[in-house]
Structure 1
């Protein structure tokens, strides 16, 4: 009964998010509370679950708030302007080159295995370029998601470490046989990025093409701002947005915006802001301090140096408060969701009931089944739920038929919360990806899931060919 309620809760949430029926906060916080009440838990117990869940995300939510403000301040001060111009000149305004470069940047940024760090580095750097050329932000999140996803297989990444802990197999024993498959996955991600760039190029060059696709999220159903606001005092963007070129025709609005932008620019502080940003990112990657502390200090320094005085600092904080609050409330609602599902035991019950429906006759094919279903299962099971809940049961079934637990784990790692983590609402970094890019959650999942699944299947085929995963044990 508990597992059924858990599955229904997740299904309703996914349906609401994918169909854009309600705001993400409503779906993530409201539905789990109703599910827990139906399961027979008292309001006091539900409150305890919620408290525990919020405790797990409050640090992340705090980091998001200050990260949004920090990168907004850097954008206001003009730090991104020469960087954007340099990359655009290098790419030659070619969507193909930009998409491939975005994927490569995501791969390089994900070398530390942290999704949040990857998205904090890649999205602020590439979003203004996509907006300047009128490219789809969904293409941006797809390229970043594919690049980060294939790299999440690294031995110091979360899924591989969890799989090693569950199987009792050394992490390198799981990863090394999968290296050829991972390389193939990286190449596949780059090919897809090239294809998406070609498609964007054709769209933008078509007569009457829309130079600003409607793929931004509104205040409901997503985690970021709507459209592309200016960089002036009224800006509510998450990261380095550019003014809407069409605003030049709206009664002189563009002139007013430009004047405001010029007032905000700090060209003499460009190198200081670059060094400050590099220092913040270096501290994030090296994990010298908590991410929320790093961004808090970064915001304080940026405000004091670039915008001294109470009036200027208050204006800058207010300018970016909308995007920050949208992200914070969505993350806190996700904490409610995860806290209730975990504290109520729904996740554990879902894991066991889901694994128990596998017919014994199919046991020799468990590795292949786990590999094929890895990406879509990322929508249902988070990394902890799968690798600590589902995987042990699958291993128990496999042992009865001589199927190695390591084989099942390796097959799982080509999709479940690796290539699949950028579409998983069960991970905090997912909300950072869609929030920083300002895209709708449901549209992002629909746009990325097919490409992610394709890359996962290609990696699985490579793993079978190289012997890392058996075709039939």
Structure 2
């Protein structure tokens, strides 16, 4: 009963998000509560689960609020304009080169294995450039997601650590045999980025240059949707630089060219502190916002205007994150996740046991829509390993295959992780459109990596 309600709850949420029927807040907060009531839990119990879930995302929500304000202030001050100018000079306004550069930047930024840091570094730097050229923000989110997804296989990343714990081995032992496959995945991600850029270049060829910033569209979007489909769940954090944030002042009055090096040093210091984990991210961004406002916009009136200019996007995204916390809290507290994991693993017939590594690898990306990293690696994977061991299938093989898709290539499309909402929020894209736009490419890259792992002998095609 609990398992069935869990699957139904996630199915309804995904259907609502993918079809844009309601806002993400309504889907993520409302549907799980109804599901828990149907499963027989009392309002008091549900309240406890919601509270536990909110506690798990409170830090992320606070970080996002201050991050949106900080990067919005930096955009207002003109920090990213010289960066954009240099990238444009290097890429020659070529969407193909820009998309490749975006993916490579995401790969480099994800060397620490932290998705939140990757998105906070990459997206604010590249978003103004995409907007200036009229490129789709969905393409930006996809390029960043591909680069981060391939790098999430690293042994110090979350999925590898969880897989190693469950398989009772070292994370490095799981990763080293997958290095050739990961290298192939990097090349695949870059190639996909080039294809996405080429497609953007063809689309923009029919748009006059002066109109491009107003006609950027997502794949399947409506003309004039500059954001690539701005969501109710992830509204704009700042207005276009050309008009001034919130329309209060022209961009020329907001820019602080004399403070460029100070703002650059502040941002570099912030990122360094994030990577080195000097303090919690929300604390670092809060401090950075205070410094940025005091230095760039002294006086209560100007500071209030800058905060108000970015408050709508920050607060609405924070409500989405809190709703996601309630969703995760209910699924975990009611035992739905555990029951779903057990039932999903039991659906595999005994005759398919020798192919478990291959099955786990192929289904990794779509399973990321159903199971978060903890649910899969601590819930589903142990059952799969137990079934496999009865037929002589190595648990390490199943774990390695899982690492090529589940919450690695799949984490940029998984609403079950906090960093996913950071990705769509910073890129200001609709959740459903982002998933539809990226899932095919992410799945393709995952399957290519799996094929490379099979070809190099890291993962058996059929265990004997």
Shorter chain as normaliser: what TM range?
over 0.9
Contact 1:219–1:226, Cα closer than 8 Å, also in 2: no
- The aligned length equals 452
Contact 2:95–2:200, Cα closer than 8 Å, also in 1: yes
Contact 2:357–2:401, Cα closer than 8 Å, also in 1: yes
Hey, what's the Cα distance between the residues in 2 that align with 1:101 and 1:261?
A: 27
Of 383, 399, 403, which aligns to 2:393?
403
Hey, what's the Cα distance between the residues in 2 that align with 1:44 and 1:2?
A: 18
Query: What's 2:420 paired with?
Result: 430
Query: What's 2:160 paired with?
Result: 160
Corresponding residue SS for 1:379: coil
Hey, what's the Cα distance between the residues in 2 that align with 1:217 and 1:205?
A: 17
The structural deviation recorded for 1:59 is 0.3
The structural deviation recorded for 1:326 is 1.5
Hey, what's the Cα distance between the residues in 2 that align with 1:90 and 1:358?
A: 51
1:118-154 deviation digits (Å, cap 9, x = unpaired):
0000000111111111111111111100000000000
1:150-171 deviation digits (Å, cap 9, x = unpaired):
0000000000000001111111
Query: What's 2:236 paired with?
Result: 225
Query: What's 2:316 paired with?
Result: 326
1:167-224 deviation digits (Å, cap 9, x = unpaired):
1111111000000000000000001111111111111113679732344376754312
Query: What's 1:28 paired with?
Result: 28
Hey, what's the Cα distance between the residues in 1 that align with 2:66 and 2:43?
A: 33
Q: Does 1:299 align with 2:302?
A: no
Structure-1-length-normalised TM-score: 0.93
Of 298, 314, 333, which aligns to 1:308?
298
Hey, what's the Cα distance between the residues in 2 that align with 1:338 and 1:362?
A: 31
Corresponding residue SS for 2:55: helix
Distance 1:306 1:384, change over 3 A: same
Query: What is the root-mean-square deviation of aligned Cα atoms in Å?
Result: 1.6
Of 397, 405, 409, which aligns to 1:415?
405
Distance 1:372 1:115, change over 3 A: same
Gaps of 5+ in 2: 219-226
Query: What's 1:148 paired with?
Result: 148
The structural deviation recorded for 1:299 is 0.2
Hey, what's the Cα distance between the residues in 2 that align with 1:388 and 1:221?
A: 33
Of 188, 208, 213, which aligns to 2:216?
213
Corresponding residue SS for 1:320: helix
Contact 1:225–1:323, Cα closer than 8 Å, also in 2: yes
Distance 1:96 1:220, change over 3 A: closer
Hey, what's the Cα distance between the residues in 1 that align with 2:81 and 2:232?
A: 31
Gaps of 5+ in 1: 236-255
Distance 1:310 1:232, change over 3 A: farther
The structural deviation recorded for 1:232 is 5.3
Distance 1:315 1:221, change over 3 A: closer
